[in-house]
Structure 1
Amino acid sequence: MRVLQFGDSLLPVGAFSFSNGLESAVQLGVVRDLDSLREFVKAAVEQAATSDGVAVLSAFRAAAAGDVEGIDRADHAVFDRKLNEEMRTMTVRMGRKLAEMADRVLGPSVAGEWLARIRAGETPGCLPVGQALVFAALGLSERDAFAVHQYGVAGMMTNASLRMMKLHYLDVQALLFEVNADAEAAYARVVDHSLEDMAAFAPVFDVLASLHVGAHVRMFMN
């Protein structure tokens, strides 16, 4: 039940306000139908696994070991790899909201201590790290934390697609089911990676994000 609650796409951390780059992709015709949406979401999820997903595992292990410096290193590693302003805004806004929720719901925990450091300006407060700390505080597994992170990336984008494209909602659910089938294999690919191994290469995402900043009509914050 804890996994269900903290992995819920309707968790009040602001995911509804973001599209993870999909809005610009639709506006510019990069994504125009179900097939191109599938390719775009799959690419985003694959990039997430090898970048932010690695930080989830690193932060989870640091939390389990009581390594505060390790937690904050993972936090800075995520923030430093966001090449554009909107992606940085997304991750820290949602991360802080998750930390505030955890502090209220869980009480004193490693997540609450992290929130204090965010407020003091000692660490940026990125969402993947927040997810790791919440799951560590709940006594769940790093595998659960990684799965929820991956699901969140795909879920945010598929939910956004229904607000921008003419799609059957059941087709979108089938797409989400298909994309998430790779979560176990993605975990196996990165389980032994360190923060130095964090990497992502998807120039189209960065170009779309830079164009979105100057867009005249926007439904989403990124």
Structure 2
Amino acid sequence: MRRPAMDTRTPTDGALADLRLRQLTSATLPVGAFAYSQGLETAVELGWVGDLPQAAAWIGGQLQHSLARVEVPLLARLMAAFSAGDRDAAMHWSGLLLAMRDTAELRAQERALASAWAVLLGDLDLDDARTWVDLPQRTALALFALAATRFRIAPPTAAQACLWAWLEAQVSAAVRAVPLGHTAAQRLLYELAQDIPAVVASGLAVADADIGAAAPALAIASCRHETQYSRLFRS
């Protein structure tokens, strides 16, 4: 009996967009995000984070008070700029994010990840991504927004996925730095993930003039991590 030919038709837009989004947030994405702790390693060194409740407070606090007021509203504006083909606006919002990174370490991380994203997305046939490789205003968030726009992912969905990827990376860092057991890490993901929909909703409602957040402890930890003697994570 002859085998039927394989159906090579393109899936529906929604199905393909969902699969693309899963790829963009995969822990296997070769951009090097696992190499950074974003101040968490020094928070552990200083005794600020030493167990599950303290890790939840540190990570959850950033989610509620920083990402909600910076990453989420800027992601929405970046996606709108890319959708409109407005490169100047995209560079403006990306440059604003970079200016809000308080330390040399955090700015270096943003640029390094952005360059890796640009090369990767270029290899995935998003040719315009490569033009961001060496831009002074490049950020990882801008490249994520570019990919999400090209893959026809709705901004609220993209924002939820972006926060999930950040949360998963922070919990992974906590497993290594605190350290947390794997079951405790899953509990942390389970508890904090339930805050993401509300964080996205509040972030999408932030006006242009209100974008911004203050995270003094994070800035202090990041500054001190730049010269910390013993480190698991990149500075």
Alignment TM-score > 0.5, same fold: yes
Q: Name 2:189's counterpart in structure 1.
A: 176
Structure 1 alignment gaps of length 5 or more: none
Confirm whether residue 208 of structure 1 aligns to residue 221 of structure 2.
Answer: yes
Quote how far apart the aligned CAs of 1:159 are.
0.4
| Consecutive aligned runs of 4 or more in structure 1 exceeding 4 Å deviation | none
Q: Name 1:7's counterpart in structure 2.
A: 25
Q: Name 1:85's counterpart in structure 2.
A: 104
Tell me the alpha carbon deviations over residues 56-112 of structure 1, each in whole angstroms, 9 at most, x when there is no partner.
11100111111111111111011011110011011111112112111111x1x4xx3
Larger radius of gyration: 2
Answer whether contact 2:78 2:146 (CA < 8 A) is retained.
yes
Output the CA distance in 1 between the equivalents of 2:205 and 2:128. Answer: 27
Confirm whether residue 116 of structure 1 aligns to residue 119 of structure 2.
Answer: no
Q: Name 2:37's counterpart in structure 1.
A: 19
Confirm whether residue 70 of structure 1 aligns to residue 89 of structure 2.
Answer: yes
Q: Name 2:177's counterpart in structure 1.
A: 164
Q: 1:8 to 1:195 in 2, by over 3 A?
A: farther
- Residue 68 of structure 2: SS of its match in structure 1? helix
Confirm whether residue 188 of structure 1 aligns to residue 207 of structure 2.
Answer: no
Q: Name 1:38's counterpart in structure 2.
A: 56
Structure 2 alignment gaps of length 5 or more: 1-18
* Number of equivalent positions: 216
Quote how far apart the aligned CAs of 1:194 are.
4.0
Q: 1:95 to 1:195 in 2, by over 3 A?
A: farther
Q: Which amino acid aligns with 2:37?
A: S
- Identity between Structure 1 and Structure 2 (%): 22
Quote how far apart the aligned CAs of 1:49 are.
2.0
Answer whether contact 2:114 2:138 (CA < 8 A) is retained.
yes
TM-score normalised per structure 2: 0.87
Output the CA distance in 1 between the equivalents of 2:132 and 2:26. Answer: 26
Confirm whether residue 54 of structure 1 aligns to residue 73 of structure 2.
Answer: yes
Quote how far apart the aligned CAs of 1:166 are.
3.6
Output the CA distance in 2 between the equivalents of 1:60 and 1:30. Answer: 36
Output the CA distance in 2 between the equivalents of 1:52 and 1:101. Answer: 21
The range that moved more, 193-202 or 71-80, is: 193-202
Q: 1:118 to 1:124 in 2, by over 3 A?
A: farther
Quote how far apart the aligned CAs of 1:117 are.
4.1
Q: Which amino acid aligns with 1:113?
A: D
Root-mean-square deviation (Å): 1.5
Output the CA distance in 1 between the equivalents of 2:69 and 2:129. Answer: 24
Output the CA distance in 2 between the equivalents of 1:4 and 1:21. Answer: 27
Tell me the alpha carbon deviations over residues 24-51 of structure 1, each in whole angstroms, 9 at most, x when there is no partner.
0111100010000000010122211211
Quote how far apart the aligned CAs of 1:125 are.
1.2
Quote how far apart the aligned CAs of 1:214 are.
1.2
TM-score normalised per structure 1: 0.92
Q: Which amino acid aligns with 1:208?
A: A
Q: Which amino acid aligns with 1:128?
A: L
Q: 1:104 to 1:195 in 2, by over 3 A?
A: farther
Answer whether contact 1:79 1:126 (CA < 8 A) is retained.
yes
- Residue 233 of structure 2: SS of its match in structure 1? coil
